[in-house]
Amino acid sequence: MTESEPIVPDPAAELKRRSFLVGAGAVVAGGLGAKLLYDRDERSQRAQVFVARARSYTANLPDVLRRGMTELGLGPWWVAGKSVLLKPNLVEPTREAPQINTHPAVVQAAAEVFRRWGAREVFVAEGQGHCRDTDWVLDQSGLGPALRDDRLEFVDLNHDEVYLAPNRLRFTKLRQLGLPEALRRADIIVSMPKMKTHHWVGVTLSMKNLFGVMPGVFYGWPKNVLHHNGIPESILDITATVRPHLAIVDGIIGMEGDGPIMGTAREAGVLVMGTNLPAVDATTTRLMGIDPWRISYLAAASGRLGPIAERHIAQRGESIAGTAQPFTLIEAYQKILRG
């Protein structure tokens, strides 16, 4: 597949694409009909999500993550002897804007926990979608020096060997997905996104973070093939096909407004984790003061990839009511949420 020129979608046109085929009929994501349909379908699904307070990146983050994962029923038995892939959100070559990239301290903390629990190996992997100079992004973001300090291997997923896997969900028209070999090397895949709003799909969390596993040498920059096939649809297909095992959301400092790059910092002071990505993202969306039923790909994930209804998610750690704070969305997306 040849590389194509980056696309620049029209925000208004992209945002209006909130209706797409679900099952046998078309459902307008965010409408009451969508909520009733999917709430019915997910009744047999349950998930747990842990919300932890973490007021700064200098806190004892390994202890916070260890407590959270233990509350979720995870421990050394789950990790020992296994290969663990940590997939942060690495977008831009900057450390001056802590709201853009997953903070190195959170990545280091997760690696420490998994190593202490007996993992055979822990490595970090990402395929950033904008700047093509991976070494530059790593060094300027601060992640590169942190990985060197902790002797953590980094795999550039944009240039990894590619294998073809059947598209398990087929929300897009893609019959197969090209995936990096690093995914087959890992026994446990951990999505480690930043807590951010997104100007086209509302929020970008653990599911949207998986765009970064898709190799740029196969899909172009910034993953143009996936954009052309629909961002919400691609999020669903990638999540269903990659099937990550855990999500850890860096919400210590998040981003609001014109995310995922141009927004402003929002101190939320939380880490959110769980083994079911739709449930984690729905909970994090609620922490951002946004109704997850109004996010098209989360509404469509309900009953297929996991529960998003609050009563089907066992809340661990901090309560949503005690930690939620509203994140600002761009005006164009606010209009869509208002219907």
CA 184 from centre of chain: 19
Query: According to the model, what pLDDT value does residue 43 have?
Result: 73
Give me the phi and psi of 184, to 5 degrees please. Answer: -80, -20
- Reading the block at residue 10, the tokens are 């029209």
pLDDT of 32 > 60? The answer is no
User: Exposed, middle or buried by CB within 10 Å (0-12, 13-18, 19+), for 60?
Assistant: exposed
Residue 27 confidence class, pLDDT cut points 50, 70, 90? very low
Residue 219 confidence class, pLDDT cut points 50, 70, 90? very high
pTM: 0.90
Query: According to the model, what pLDDT value does residue 159 have?
Result: 95
- Reading the block at residue 122, the tokens are 């822990």
- Reading the block at residue 140, the tokens are 């300027």
Distance CA 299, CA 277 (A): 13
For the chain, give every domain's residue range: 11-337
Residue 36 confidence class, pLDDT cut points 50, 70, 90? low
Element holding 263 (H helix, E strand): none
pLDDT of 88 > 80? The answer is yes
Read off the amino acid at residue 133: D
8 Å CB contact between 153 and 126? no
pLDDT of 163 > 50? The answer is yes
Using only C-alpha atoms, what is the Rg of the chain?
Answer: 18
C-alpha torsion angle, residues 68, 73, 74, 75 (rounded to 10): 100
Residue 150 confidence class, pLDDT cut points 50, 70, 90? very high
- Give residue-wise pLDDT tens across range 165-216: 999 999 999 999 999 999 999 999 999 999 999 999 999 999 999 999 999 9
Distance CA 42, CA 63 (A): 33
- Cα separations (Å) of 270 from 103, 197, 247, 284? 13, 16, 14, 9
Question: How high does pLDDT run on average in the chain?
Answer: 88
Query: According to the model, what pLDDT value does residue 70 have?
Result: 98
Mean pLDDT of 229-252: 97
DSSP 95: S
- Reading the block at residue 241, the tokens are 């096909």
Residue of 174, 295, 192, 156 whose CA lies nearest to 241: 174
8 Å CB contact between 58 and 103? no
Query: According to the model, what pLDDT value does residue 19 have?
Result: 40
Residue 98 confidence class, pLDDT cut points 50, 70, 90? confident
Read off the amino acid at residue 185: R
3-state class of 22 per DSSP?
Answer: strand
Query: To which residue do tokens 């079911």 refer?
Result: 276
